[in-house]
């Protein structure tokens, strides 16, 4: 099972084109409340197995992100979701840090 990564440009293109997808932050609730990429939902990694089937649909395109390049939560979450049958799941490795470093706003 290969994890597919998407770049910031690809994510922005999806947003600009109003492509239907679920953006999932896998950090803690506190982290999420502190600011997240606009439109994201919060499914903390520790609760992902329990929450995924309630919040997501197997047919959804899902983009997962965490704190930064060195954070492995998004990759672990992507792997977990793929194993659970969410076939169109992508890892936005640049994550929240790249979003902010690119001058883009977080939503609170």
Percent of the chain exceeding pLDDT 90 equals 96
Q: What are the structural domain ranges in the chain?
A: 4-100
Q: What are the pLDDT digits (tens) for 36-94?
A: 999 999 999 999 999 999 999 999 999 999 999 899 999 999 999 999 999 999 999 99
30-57 burial: b if 16+ Cβ within 10 Å, else e: ebbeeebbeebebbbbeebeeebeeebe
6 has a pLDDT exceeding 80 = yes
Q: What are the pLDDT digits (tens) for 21-52?
A: 999 999 999 999 999 999 999 999 999 999 99
Distance of CA 16 to the CA centre of its chain: 17
Confidence of residue 1 (pLDDT cuts 50, 70, 90): confident
- Whether pTM exceeds 0.85: yes
Determine the CATH number of domain 4-100: 3.40.250.10
* 78: its two tokens: 């992507």
């Amino acid at each position: 099972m290969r994890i597919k990564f998407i770049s910031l440009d690809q994510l922005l293109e999806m947003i600009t084109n109003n492509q239907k997808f679920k953006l999932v932050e896998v950090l803690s609730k506190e982290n999420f409340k502190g600011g997240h990429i606009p439109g994201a939902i919060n499914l903390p990694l520790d609760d992902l197995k329990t929450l995924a089937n309630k919040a997501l649909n197997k047919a959804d395109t899902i983009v997962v992100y965490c704190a930064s390049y060195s954070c492995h939560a998004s990759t672990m979450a992507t792997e977990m979701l793929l194993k659970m049958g969410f076939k169109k799941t992508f890892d936005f490795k640049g994550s929240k840090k790249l979003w902010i470093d690119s001058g883009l706003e977080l939503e609170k």
